[in-house]
Structure 1
Amino acid sequence: MLHPSTIQLLRFHFSLFLLPVYLFAISQVPTVDFTKAIIIFIILHFLVYPSSNGYNSYMDRDTSPIGGLKNPLQPTRQLYRITIIMDVIAVLTGLLISIYFSVGILLYILASRAYSSRQIRLKRYPVIGFLTVFIFQGALVFYITYIGTNPSTDLYAPILPCIISSCLIAALYPLTQIYQHKEDKDDGVTTISYLVGKRGTFILSMCLFLGATFLMYLFFTQRHEMNIWFRYLLIMLPVVLFFLTWMRKVWISEKEANFKNSLRMNVIATLCTTIFFVTLILFKP
């Protein structure tokens, strides 16, 4: 019988915040193997991401709000065992896709463990922790999804979308840390958000989002698809408006840098990017 805290701390719903990278990769594959696409979706969103969430919660033992949870329960040893089982299943199931995909999943899991583990704890280093998320949640996930759903045995994947994926993930990442400065510092963790400050967090996220937008422009102009770039700008408008409104509030009072607003930012950004990437899939030439 699973303990209530085990189910809660796996945070299956939080995995949806990483859905856009998967959808972006699917949208760029010339001919998608939909059977493999479904298997990859299950591996990522029902095994790898929840396991990563659970392992992080087991190591952190948070008592204050964390990503997607306002009142986290305390983990039990069962959670740790479940994460190991999920990881093993993910790597073995990945072999149904290819050995390369399975190795990619293993690399993601190892990076996730190194990020959270008390022995290594990459997250306590602001730049290294940031780069770990930038590379593995963005570019690596795009890459393994792309080669995994592509019937071709070629291991090539377009570089620009990999970097765009990393920029989009990295733009939101500091905003998920902005309300946890004290808790993280008490735990010996110096996040990128703490390093640059609350105002600096918004500036950093803005630069990353603008970088992603510029790379989108380069990517779609190279393919003579400027109409898609304009579609991107239109769909992302609610994200920009909420971001600027929230930033203005934090400039007036840093109390506005709280869990509630951070969650809203995540939901709006995820919803809008998901809609955009779904349109790319539905209206693929």
Structure 2
Amino acid sequence: MLSLSSWLHMRIPFSYFLMPVFLFTLAISPNNSMYEPVFWTFIIVHLLLYPASNGYNSYFDKDEKSIGGLKNPPPVNKGLYSLALFFDALAIGLGWLMINFTFAIMLLIYGLVSKAYSHPAVRLKKYPIGGWLVAGIFQGFFTFIMCYVGINKFSLETAWQWPVLIPAALSTLMLWGNYPMTQIYQHDEDGRRGDKTLSLLLGIRGTFYFVGAVFGMVTLAFVVYFNAYFSSRQAIAFLIALSPVVLYFLYWFAQAYRDETKADYQHTMWLNFISATCLNAFFLYLTFSAMKFI
């Protein structure tokens, strides 16, 4: 359980790419200045729950080629399975102790769904549409509501209101637009295992076209949301924050259109990094703006 390979497969730094949902939740939370629940929600979700999911999926995928956050994955062992379950249990226990029972139950549900994504008994990953829908809903909408409950120490009923449900839904749309790009360099390995992901179904060029179309619609939806719930200033700032992402996406698309081997791990990780950095910066700006710091 304590082997280096097991810890590498937990891919803790990869949680950086998933931070925009947490920071978006923080920005619209009424209790975002309650530093203790904010701290514990972040630690539990990003340093325990997400790594547990990464490790568990790696154990059953047994990838030999690059995976998200790990260019050369070492062989997996039984210790990885135990470490992932330990992180899961620790997340749920701390969630109950430091936040509330509702938050702990939501952590449990997220963990079960993430296991269904890769476990051979269910293997949601092999269903192109179903796997894409479930991943987007739970990494977006569900995680947003879960973090809202954790950050504010609220009940689920308190979170079930339009000012929370709308940005939660936008988070899922954002994930639906991004998710196929994370699969684009794994076509060979996914095909070998029989996992027909959405990106594999669409093909290299089809993935770019699909992501570009969804991304355009999602951007419009975000602009409408910020104009309605914040101001045009935040809507413009959002567009400015996304401009490096769009430029890199178009640059990469032009390369991959001419040579499909450019749809590789390195370009995917750069897109993930640029996208996460821009969105994290924007949602931090939104949070500080809501807290009247700027």
The interval holding the TM-score normalised by the smaller chain is over 0.9
1:173-226 CA-to-partner distances (Å, cap 9, x unmatched) read: 111111111110100100000111111111221122222212212212212501
Cα distance between partner residues in 2 of 1:208 and 1:138: 15
Q: Which runs of 5+ in 1 are unaligned?
A: none
Output the amino acid matched with 1:165: S
The answer on 1:282 being equivalent to 2:288 is yes
Q: TM-score normalised to the size of structure 1?
A: 0.96
Output the amino acid matched with 1:196: L
* Residues 142 and 165, structure 1, Cα contact 8 Å, conserved in 2: yes
Equivalent position of 2:75 in the other structure: 74
Equivalent position of 1:61 in the other structure: 62
Question: Which piece of structure 1 moves more, 215-224 or 231-240?
Answer: 215-224
Cα distance between partner residues in 2 of 1:64 and 1:37: 36
Equivalent position of 2:276 in the other structure: 270
Q: How many residues align?
A: 285
How far off its partner does 1:156 sit?
A: 2.7
Query: CA 1:135–1:224 in 2, change beyond 3 Å: closer, same or farther?
Result: closer
Q: TM-score normalised to the size of structure 2?
A: 0.94
Cα distance between partner residues in 2 of 1:120 and 1:223: 40
Equivalent position of 2:105 in the other structure: 103
* Residues 164 and 212, structure 1, Cα contact 8 Å, conserved in 2: yes
* Residues 147 and 156, structure 1, Cα contact 8 Å, conserved in 2: no
Equivalent position of 1:31 in the other structure: 31
Alignment of 1:1-285 (within 5 A): 2-32=2-32, 33-95=34-96, 96-150=98-152, 153=155, 154-157=158-161, 158-223=164-229, 225-284=231-290, 285=292
Q: Which runs of 5+ in 2 are unaligned?
A: none
* Residues 117 and 125, structure 2, Cα contact 8 Å, conserved in 1: yes
Cα distance between partner residues in 2 of 1:132 and 1:223: 27
How far off its partner does 1:20 sit?
A: 0.6
| RMSD, aligned CA | 1.3
1:205-252 CA-to-partner distances (Å, cap 9, x unmatched) read: 112222221221221221250110100001111000000111111111
Output the amino acid matched with 1:283: S
* Residues 15 and 49, structure 1, Cα contact 8 Å, conserved in 2: yes
Output the amino acid matched with 1:140: F
Output the amino acid matched with 2:44: I
Identity of aligned residues (%): 37
